[in-house]
A = this chain, B = another copy of it.
Amino acid sequence: MKTVILIGAQGKMGQAALTGLGNHKVITAGRSVEGYDYQVDITNEASVRNLFKTIGEFDAVVNTVGVCEYASFAEMTQEQWMTTVMSKMMGQINLVRIGQEYIADNGSFTLITGILNVKPIPFAIADATTSGAIDTFVKCVAYEMPRGIRINSINPTVLEEAWDVYGEMMPGFQPVPSVLVGKAFERSVDSFITGEVIFVDA
């Protein structure tokens, strides 16, 4: 049994991850005070450091959050770009940069991206671009992880559980059940793979 820090457990993607983490001791963290074991804002370095320092001993970090702004490219402002870059991209990079100082030997990081970087749709250019950045980051930084630490990203298509919200924007996409995405998180945490982008698509 591993101690896993799951960031964003209350979201749909967090719930999907949870379905794959049943064999472990899961500590939850999120932006709100209510409903999580710990509070964390991944865009704030001090908050991230405080989370890892406070928990102290853990074997895996699983992140399922990252704010993205949606707009057509022509209308997306610099502010919208930077909100997305500082959360979904730099927020996740900082989780790894700071987390590697605290995580146990042979631990693992699992980051979240999304299928829109390989299946583009309107309004999602910032989401796609930062997913491309994180998928690349994971593939390249794996070689630099010390003490047997691994890192992967999960790149899922839309969840069945979120299809009522996103389906209209995603013609021709086939949603997948949360439990299938949970398997990807499980494989990242419990296998020996590293530097991989685990796509979950149908």
Q: Which A residues lie at the B interface, using CB under 8 A?
A: 45, 72-74, 76, 78, 81-82, 85, 89-90, 93-94, 97, 100, 116-117, 120, 122, 124-125, 128-137, 139-141, 143-144, 146
Q: Can you list 19 A-B contacts (CB < 8 A)?
A: A72-B144, A73-B141, A73-B144, A78-B90, A78-B94, A81-B90, A81-B93, A85-B90, A93-B129, A117-B136, A122-B143, A125-B137, A129-B134, A129-B136, A129-B140, A131-B136, A132-B133, A132-B140, A133-B133
Q: Please judge, given known A-B contacts A120-B139, A136-B133, whether A97 and B73 are in contact too, CB under 8 Å.
A: yes
| A117 x B140 contact (CB < 8 A) | yes
User: How many subunits of this chain does the assembly comprise?
Assistant: 2
| B120 x A89 contact (CB < 8 A) | no
Partner of A144, one of B45, B97, B122, B129: B122
Q: How far does the alpha carbon of A76 sit from the alpha carbon of B144 in the complex, in Å?
A: 12
Partner of A85, one of B85, B128, B143: B85
| B81 x A144 contact (CB < 8 A) | no
| B137 x A135 contact (CB < 8 A) | no
* In the complex, chain B residues whose CB is within 8 Å of the CB of A89: 85, 133
Nearest Cβ in chain B — how far from A68, in angstroms? 13
- Across the A-B interface, give the 6 residue pairs with the lowest CB-CB distance, nearest first: A132-B136, A133-B133, A120-B140, A73-B144, A129-B137, A128-B140
